[in-house]
């Protein structure tokens, strides 16, 4: 689970990592009520990197300017994500920009600490072009990341004096955050020098999805659409896209290849839902209800390869929940015969060949 910058910064504050004072708004008018000191920095809250370059981060010298920028950024789309929230903070006068992160090194089976004096820019690019500018160490889970480890890392990054002391405090706190909150990534880029002190100007935190249940108090991203929330409640994985063709399949691989096939034949998926292995008639009924409720859906493609999932269970779900749009079913695998019989009795043909079925469903929405 990726946390938005403003939520990641709330966590930083809990761990005594210095961040700017800021407020989150959703409408440009809200700028008027703010008591923050100008100059201000306005930052689009989207879960993609490189917001600066994409025009999602702007400095404002006056409240009027802030209002104008807020109007421009809110509602803008950055790498396919619509900006619904804006973080406004008192702009920092930035000196040097450092990079600091903890991430999981799966090969070493440990957390890795990564630091660089070449912060503020794309760290992957630094790693490619000037790898010697990056200091790295892995953390022994039994020892933890001690102050002397932090001091070593800071020295290798070129820090000394009071900045090194700041670095030790920030780095050990960031490691504590990772361990206590089950973060698989915690990144500060830039970790900036402002008035002689280190300040976390940006914040990126990803919590291990498998551990989210252990942290009920963790700030949540409320990014789910109504239908996504409905699907989640039923343990179904559902994703929304922009087209007009709803897709249901079982298993992530089958669903992905179904999307590819549909796209290959010129169709545009509106969404897709994976009913998973061992889907029941009830799961299937709920799945159909969810995918066809999305506005703009004009046809439904059900692609099932029965394994643990039984074709007859799926067929019963389909027959019970006649979708209000054209439907194409491809059904094969466990209890296929029985599944086909159930569908046939209801006047529904089931395809065997997925490509043929994909072509048919695309034809349903493209023919006029």
Residues identified as active-site: 99, 187
Q: Cβ of residue 360: shortest distance to Mn ion, in angstroms? A: 47
Among 23, 34, 49, 67, binds ligand GDP (CB under 6 A): 49
Q: Is 50 in the site for ligand GDP (CB under 6 A)?
A: yes
For ligand GDP, the closer of residues 116 and 309 by Cβ is 116
The token pair that represents 299 in the structure block: 């046809």
Closest approach, Cβ 179 to ligand GDP, in A, equals: 24
CB of 189 to ligand GDP, least distance (A): 6
Q: Which residue has the tokens 């159909």?
A: 288
Q: Kindly state whether residue 51 participates in binding ligand GDP, applying the rule CB under 6 A.
A: yes
Contact 170, 189 (CB under 8 A): no
Name residues contacting ligand GDP, limited to 170-229 (CB under 6 A): 189-190, 201-202
Q: Is the CB of 5 or the CB of 313 nearer to Mn ion?
A: 5
Number of Cβ within a 10 Å radius of residue 155: 13
Question: Is the preceding omega at residue 39 within 30 degrees of 0, hence cis?
Answer: yes
Angle between helices 147-156 and 161-181 (to 10 degrees): 120
**From the CB of 33, what's the least distance to ligand GDP, in Å?**
21
Whether the bond into 84 is cis, omega within 30 of 0? no
Rank residues 190 and 251 by Cβ distance to Mn ion and give the closer one: 190
Using only C-alpha atoms, the chain has a radius of gyration, in whole angstroms, of 25
Extended strands (E) in 159-268? 183-194, 197-200, 204-207, 237-240, 245-249
Residue 158 interacting with ligand GDP (CB under 6 A): no
Instruction: Please choose which of Mn ion, ligand GDP, none residue 57 contacts, taking the beta carbon within 5 to 8 angstroms, the exact cut-off set by kind.
Output: ligand GDP
Rounded CA-CA distance 256/248 in Å is: 11
Are the beta carbons of 182 and 172 closer than 8 angstroms? Answer: no
By a kind-dependent CB cut-off of 5 to 8 A, residue 183 interacts, out of Mn ion, ligand GDP, none, with none
Under rule CB under 6 A, residue 94 binds ligand GDP: yes
In the list ligand GDP, Mn ion, none, the entry touching 34 (Cβ below 5 to 8 angstroms by class) is none
Residues 95-154 that bind ligand GDP (CB under 6 A): 97, 120
* Closer Cβ to Mn ion, 157 or 189, answer by number: 189
- Please state the separation of Cα 231 from the chain's center in Å: 17
- Answer yes or no whether residue 41 interacts with ligand GDP by CB under 6 A: yes
Among 52, 158, 219, 323, binds ligand GDP (CB under 6 A): 52
Residues 345 and 339: their CA atoms lie apart, in Å, by 10
SS3 call for 115:
strand
Contact segment (CB under 6 A) with ligand GDP among 6-14, 91-99, 205-213, 283-291 equals: 91-99
Instruction: Give the integer Cα–Cα distance in Å for 85 and 112.
Output: 32
In sequence order, which ranges of 216-276 are alpha helices (DSSP H)? 226-233, 252-264
Q: Are 87 and 12 in contact (CB under 8 A)?
A: no
* Closer by beta carbon to ligand GDP, 75 or else 144: 75
Residues in the chain: 368
Chain residues binding Mn ion by CB under 5 A are 189, 202
Comparing CB distances to ligand GDP, the nearer of 166 and 202 is 202
Binding site for ligand GDP (CB under 6 A): 41, 43, 49-52, 57, 59, 91-92, 94, 97, 120, 189-190, 201-202
């Amino acid at each position: 689970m990726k946390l938005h910058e403003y939520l990641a910064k709330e966590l930083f504050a809990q761990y005594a990592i210095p961040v700017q004072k800021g407020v989150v708004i959703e409408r440009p008018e809200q700028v008027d009520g703010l008591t923050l000191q100008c100059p201000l920095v306005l930052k689009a809250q989207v879960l993609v990197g490189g917001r600066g370059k994409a025009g999602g981060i702007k400095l404002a010298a006056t409240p009027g300017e802030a209002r104008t920028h807020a109007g421009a950024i809110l509602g803008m789309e950055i790498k396919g994500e619509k900006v619904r929230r804006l973080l406004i903070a008192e702009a920092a006068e930035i000196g040097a920009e450092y990079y600091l992160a903890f991430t999981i090194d799966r090969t070493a089976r440990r957390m890795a600490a990564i630091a660089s004096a070449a912060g503020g820019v794309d760290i992957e690019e630094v790693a490619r072009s000037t790898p010697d500018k990056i200091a790295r160490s892995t953390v022994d889970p039994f020892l933890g990341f001690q102050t002397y480890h932090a001091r070593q890392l800071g020295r290798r990054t070129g820090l000394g004096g009071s900045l090194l002391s700041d670095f030790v405090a920030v780095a050990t706190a960031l490691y504590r955050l990772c361990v206590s909150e089950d973060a698989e990534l915690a990144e500060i880029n830039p970790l900036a020098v402002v008035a002689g002190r280190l300040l976390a100007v940006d914040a990126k935190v990803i919590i291990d999805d498998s551990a989210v249940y252990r942290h009920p108090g963790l700030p949540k991203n409320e990014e789910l659409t109504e239908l996504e929330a409905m699907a989640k409640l039923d343990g179904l994985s559902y994703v929304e896209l922009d087209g007009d063709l709803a897709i249901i399949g079982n298993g992530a691989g089958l669903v992905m290849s179904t999307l590819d096939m549909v796209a290959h034949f010129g169709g545009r998926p509106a969404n897709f839902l994976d009913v998973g292995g061992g889907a029941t008639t009830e799961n299937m009924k709920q799945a159909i209800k969810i995918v066809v409720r999305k506005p703009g859906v004009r046809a439904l493609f059900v692609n099932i390869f029965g394994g643990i999932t039984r074709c007859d269970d799926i067929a019963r779900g389909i027959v019970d929940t006649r979708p209000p749009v054209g439907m194409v079913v491809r059904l094969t695998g466990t209890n296929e015969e029985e599944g086909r019989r159930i569908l046939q009795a209801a006047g529904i043909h089931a395809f065997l060949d997925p490509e043929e079925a994909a072509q048919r469903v695309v034809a349903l929405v493209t023919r006029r």
